[in-house]
Amino acid sequence: MKKPGSAHSDNELRGDYTQAAHDYTVAQDWDAYTPEMHERWRRLYARQSMLAEQYAAPEFLDGLQRLDCSYGVPRFEYANSVLDHATKWQLVAVPGFIPDEVFFEHLANRRFPVTRWIREERELDYLVEPDIFHDFFGHVPMLLDPHVADFLELYGKAGERAIAMNALPMLARIYWYTIEFGLIATPKGLKAFGAGIVSSAGETVFSVTDPNVLRLKFDPVRIMNTEYRIDDFQPNYFVLDSLGQLLRELVALDFGPIYETWRDKTPIPPGTLLEGERPWHGKLAEKPS
Ligand code: HBI
Ligand code: FE
């Protein structure tokens, strides 16, 4: 496994796998966060929560408020009491990216791995790997939603079969285009709920207001065949009617035959409108007056 943090001397928590248990969990060690780290969290929180008010799904805003985490790097212990009460999920601290099968095993048991370290000052706007701000601010509010809570457990349980059938990229695209970069149509216009969006200032505004980017209505099989970009704003997004739709459609899907059918075919490049397909065209987000 790569050691993502070895070049960053001012944050020794970063990417340190030496203390990790067999399931890659570590102690959060909240007392180890410095005043600078808490201050950095507050600034990131202030910026992203302000954008979220305008552009994020109501379920995200509701979850964020219940987590009460504006004051500094949050304690997992407190979030776990909120989560336990709401959806029986728990957070576990990890040093960073963990192997696929370990990640799936945690999700299947309603444990969400949250990276313990926070990004550095020069990375406020962009980083490739998940840190605690992405993992906590982006993902944890949605774990308080009962539909997302059940969907993620289902996703975790689907992992083993996808790996065994050599179809992991197909399953991973479902996560990418919903949990990381999902949009939802609401009466007040298009809103974001994906963690990759709501933890990014630029993409929060872009994803729900840009009139030109390709948006398609949520379609699990189309998603499983659509590649994604990890180095720029997404060239296409998929739009849900509700979070209930996400759970309902995925519960109903028999993944095996879909993997068999598409696994060895060339996936669709990101941003492609296929022949016969119509882009989603609903009401975009309202910009502040
Ligand atoms: N590990 N910490 C962490 N966070 C992730 O989002 C993550 C991971 N390991 C594997 C993984 N994601 C994905 O490759 C799977 O969803 C397929
Ligand atoms: Fe993420």
- What CATH number is given to the structural domain containing 226? 1.10.800.10
Residue 285, domain member (yes or no): no
Protein residue closest via CA to atom 5 of ligand 1:
97
User: Which-ligand-closest: CA of 174?
Assistant: 1
Q: Which of 105, 106, 153, 199 is catalytic?
A: 199
Q: How many CA atoms lie within 13 A of 217 on its CB side?
A: 9
Q: Which ligand is nearest to the CA of 158?
A: 1
Show the low-confidence residues of the chain (pLDDT under 50).
1-9
Q: Which atom of ligand 1 is the closest one to the Cα of 113?
A: 2
Token pair recorded at residue 34: 């410095």
Closest C-alpha residue for ligand 1 atom 7: 97
Q: Give me ligand 2 centre to Cα 135, in Å.
A: 6
User: Among the atoms of ligand 1, which is closest to the Cα of residue 180?
Assistant: 6
50-88 exposure pattern, b = at least 16 Cβ within 10 A, e = fewer: ebbebbbbebbbebbebbebeebbbebeebeebbeeebe
pTM of the model: 0.94
Distance between alpha carbon 236 and the CA centroid of its chain, in Å?
Answer: 16
Q: How many domains does the chain have?
A: 1
pLDDT at 196: 97
In a domain, 108, yes or no: yes
pLDDT computed for residue 236 by the predictor:
98
Residue 124 in any domain: the answer is yes
pLDDT tens, 161-179? 999 999 999 999 999 999 9
Indicate whether 109 belongs to any domain. Answer: yes
- Is 85 an active-site residue? no
In a domain, 93, yes or no: yes
Which range of residues forms the domain containing residue 213? 19-262
Is 134 a known active-site residue? yes
List of residues 6+ apart from 127 with CB closer than 8 A: 119, 134
- Is there a catalytic annotation at residue 38? no
The answer to whether residue 276 sits within a structural domain is: no
Q: What's the pLDDT tens digit per position in 227-269?
A: 999 989 999 999 999 999 999 999 999 999 999 999 999 999 9
User: Cβ distance 45 to 198 under 8 Å?
Assistant: no
Nearest to 154 by CA among 239, 259, 249: 249
Cβ of 213 closer than 6 Å to ligand 1, yes or no, is: no
In a domain, 279, yes or no: no
Cβ neighbours around 274 below 10 Å, total: 10
Binding site membership of 24 for ligand 1 (Cβ less than 6 Å): no
Structure tokens at 190: 């298009």
Do the domain assignments include residue 7?
A: no
